């Protein structure tokens, strides 16, 4: 493959991602949430991209779009490449979307240049990965992997509608979701994704091979006290739920700063009734905790439960700690790791293998097949942010790796 041709692949990928980013709610960055008008409009664009290169396109009943290339080898074996179409609010152009578009451009190159592929190829655009709207992640990949459970249909959106209701409104049939599990002979899953961290930039590398994905547990915490007048109740007599929440978060943060290999984030915090002159009578907040060590995650949750208990007992408060989602740490397939490492070397890049700190659809797909991931450098490691950035050159290298991987993949 010539450098000129490679640059064309990178440029095309970059341009398509720029166009796709326009399917967004107004505001900073990209906001393309699951089961919204932006989701629907993006799929109209994506469907044309897929059909233009001869893929058979379908949308399943959870809102995944899947384009299928049928190998002339007349095989039942299929390799899946994909990622998610949805974003966080005010996110970037490349998280998720790059993992749909870059493999699509690589596959287009293979088809148009008559590069023989031994297996059928599916390009999957998962409707939901981020979990922004229904407080649970990986809805799209769970359906393909057969791990979706019917109780998830009762999850409510920010508008109070259930997932089931919104699927129906989107034109889908939630009763048929069990039929959407992949039943082909799936021989591997590859997800291309921006790193969302600074390691590749620090190493001055365009791409890296992932060997494991951190586990992630999510919780909601509710603390109840007593609302009261801000000026008339002395500090020692208050039952301030806001202070209780704040103290608990700070205590766990200080504890985690003394140990390694685990992180916790309190991403949403709400004090009620939410008035400048009223003591908060209720506090609601979330915790996202991640590590490659499942036991360390569980031990830390136990520690936080004890912190909450001690703080609330001291301040006359009550609390609940509720788990909303669990994704265990996941190792990538040795077979795919080795073949990705070979493809990276084949394109002339240094081989570097490391774990992912973020969760990905690949964790669900491992339930049905071998899986692996290829990371692409992003500027300063910034993600979930309008400042998310990649270069055409790095996309060139990643596209070249994917083409080589598709040509040479063996099971």
Render pLDDT for 7-64 as a digit per residue (tens, 0 to 9): 589 999 999 999 999 999 999 999 999 999 999 999 999 999 999 999 999 999 999 9
Residue 2: pLDDT above 60?
no
Tell whether 218 is in a known binding site: yes
Render pLDDT for 254-268 as a digit per residue (tens, 0 to 9): 999 999 999 999 999
Q: In terms of domains, do 203 and 223 share one?
A: no
Render pLDDT for 178-214 as a digit per residue (tens, 0 to 9): 999 999 899 999 999 999 999 999 999 999 999 999 9
What is the DSSP secondary-structure string of 65-121?
EEEEEPPTT--SEEEEEEEE----TTB-SSTTTHHHHHHHHHHHHHHHTT---SSEE
Q: In terms of domains, do 26 and 147 share one?
A: yes
Residue 316: pLDDT above 70?
yes
Q: In terms of domains, do 65 and 133 share one?
A: yes
Write down which residue in 299, 327, 355 finishes a domain: 327
Confidence of residue 6 (pLDDT cuts 50, 70, 90): low
Tell whether 84 is in a known binding site: yes
Radius of gyration (C-alpha) of the chain in whole angstroms? 23
Q: In terms of domains, do 104 and 229 share one?
A: no
All residues at 6 or more sequence positions from 65 whose CB lies less than 8 Å from its CB, including other chains: 43, 46, 47, 50, 57, 58, 59, 85, 124, 125, 127
Q: What are the Cα distances from residue 347, in Å, to 162, 271, 350, 405? A: 47, 53, 9, 11
Tell whether 290 is in a known binding site: yes
Residue 166: pLDDT above 50?
yes
3-state secondary structure of 387: coil
The chain-wide mean pLDDT, for the chain, equals 96
Tell whether 155 is in a known binding site: no
The percentage of residues in the chain with a pLDDT greater than 70, rounded to a whole number, is: 98
By 3-state DSSP, what share of the chain in percent is helix, strand and coil, each rounded to 5?
40, 25, 40
The percentage of residues in the chain with a pLDDT greater than 90, rounded to a whole number, is: 95
How confident is the model at residue 294, as a pLDDT? 96
Tell whether 95 is in a known binding site: yes
Q: In terms of domains, do 267 and 355 share one?
A: no
Give which of 290, 151, 146 is closest to 217, Cα–Cα.
290
Number of domains comprising the chain: 2
Render pLDDT for 357-371 as a digit per residue (tens, 0 to 9): 999 999 999 999 999
Q: In terms of domains, do 75 and 151 share one?
A: yes
Q: In terms of domains, do 305 and 333 share one?
A: no
Do the beta carbons of residue 211 and residue 354 sit within 8 Å? yes
Confidence of residue 85 (pLDDT cuts 50, 70, 90): very high
Q: H/E element holding 228?
A: strand 228-229
**Helices marked H in 119-195:** 139-145, 163-169
**Which domain CATH number covers 37?**
3.40.630.10
Residue 3: pLDDT above 70?
no
Domain that holds residue 152: 3-214+329-408
Q: In terms of domains, do 267 and 345 share one?
A: no
**Which domain CATH number covers 301?**
3.30.70.360
How confident is the model at residue 284, as a pLDDT? 98
Q: In terms of domains, do 137 and 185 share one?
A: yes
Residue 353 CA to residue 52 CA, distance in Å, equals: 35
Render pLDDT for 261-313 as a digit per residue (tens, 0 to 9): 999 999 999 999 999 999 999 999 999 999 999 999 999 999 999 999 999 99
Render pLDDT for 101-133 as a digit per residue (tens, 0 to 9): 999 999 999 999 999 999 999 999 999 999 999
Q: In terms of domains, do 336 and 383 share one?
A: yes
How confident is the model at residue 7, as a pLDDT? 59
First to last CA, the chain: 25
Do the beta carbons of residue 120 and residue 75 sit within 8 Å? yes
Task: Provide the phi-psi class of 86: left if phi over 0, else alpha when psi is between -120 and 50, else beta.
Answer: beta
How confident is the model at residue 5, as a pLDDT? 52
Residue 206 CA to residue 50 CA, distance in Å, equals: 27
Tell whether 277 is in a known binding site: yes
Render pLDDT for 319-349 as a digit per residue (tens, 0 to 9): 999 999 888 899 999 999 999 999 999 999 9
Q: In terms of domains, do 250 and 186 share one?
A: no
Q: In terms of domains, do 170 and 241 share one?
A: no
Give which of 263, 274, 181, 186 is closest to 227, Cα–Cα.
274
Render pLDDT for 233-254 as a digit per residue (tens, 0 to 9): 999 999 999 999 999 999 999 9
Per DSSP bridges, beta strands 185-194 and 371-376 are parallel
How confident is the model at residue 135, as a pLDDT? 84
Write down which residue in 327, 345, 374 finishes a domain: 327
Write down which residue in 327, 353, 385 finishes a domain: 327
Render pLDDT for 368-404 as a digit per residue (tens, 0 to 9): 999 999 999 999 999 999 999 999 999 999 999 999 9
Tell whether 229 is in a known binding site: no
How confident is the model at residue 158, as a pLDDT? 87
All residues at 6 or more sequence positions from 320 whose CB lies less than 8 Å from its CB, including other chains: 221, 222
Tell whether 254 is in a known binding site: no
Residue 93 CA to residue 158 CA, distance in Å, equals: 23
Residue 190 CA to residue 77 CA, distance in Å, equals: 15
Residue 289 exposure: Cα atoms within 13 Å on the Cβ side: 27
């Amino acid at each position: 493959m010539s450098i000129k041709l490679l640059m064309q692949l990178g440029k095309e990928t970059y341009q398509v991602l720029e166009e796709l980013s326009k399917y967004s709610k107004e505001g900073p960055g990209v906001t393309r949430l699951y089961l919204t008008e932006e989701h629907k409009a993006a799929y109209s664009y994506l469907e044309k991209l897929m059909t233009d290169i001869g893929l058979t396109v379908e949308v399943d009943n959870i809102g995944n779009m899947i384009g299928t290339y049928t190998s002339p080898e007349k095989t039942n074996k299929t390799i899946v490449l994909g990622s998610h179409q949805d974003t966080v609010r005010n996110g970037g152009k490349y998280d998720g979307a790059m993992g749909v578009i870059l493999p699509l451009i690589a596959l287009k190159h293979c088809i148009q240049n008559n590069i023989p592929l031994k297996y059928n190829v599916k390009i999957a655009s998962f409707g939901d990965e981020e979990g922004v709207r229904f407080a649970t992640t990986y809805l799209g990949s769970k359906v393909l992997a057969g791990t979706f459970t019917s109780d998830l249909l009762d999850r409510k959106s920010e508008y109070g509608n259930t997932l089931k209701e919104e699927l129906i409104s989107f034109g889908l049939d939630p009763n048929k979701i069990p039929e959407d599990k992949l039943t082909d002979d799936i021989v591997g899953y590859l997800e291309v994704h921006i790193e969302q961290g600074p390691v590749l930039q620090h190493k001055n590398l365009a791409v890296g091979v992932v060997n494991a994905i951190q586990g992630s547990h999510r919780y909601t915490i509710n603390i109840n006290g007593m609302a009261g007048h801000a000026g008339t109740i002395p500090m020692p007599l208050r039952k301030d739920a806001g202070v209780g929440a704040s103290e608990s978060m700070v205590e766990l943060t200080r504890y985690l700063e003394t140990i390694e290999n685990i992180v916790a984030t309190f991403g949403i915090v709400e004090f009620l009734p939410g008035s400048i002159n009223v003591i908060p009578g209720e506090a609601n907040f979330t915790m996202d905790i991640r590590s490659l060590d499942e036991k360390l995650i569980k031990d830390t949750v136990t520690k936080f439960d004890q912190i909450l208990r001690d703080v609330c007992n001291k301040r006359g408060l009550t609390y609940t700690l509720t788990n909303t989602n669990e994704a265990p740490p996941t190792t990538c397939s040795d077979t795919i790791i080795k073949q990705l490492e070979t493809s990276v070397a084949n394109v002339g890049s240094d081989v570097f293998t490391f774990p992912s700190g973020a969760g990905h659809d690949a964790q669900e797909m491992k339930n049905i097949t071998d899986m692996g991931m290829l990371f692409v450098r992003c500027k300063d490691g910034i993600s979930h942010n309008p400042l998310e950035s990649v270069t055409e050159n790095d996309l060139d290298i990643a596209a070249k790796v994917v083409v080589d991987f598709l040509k040479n993949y063996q099971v």
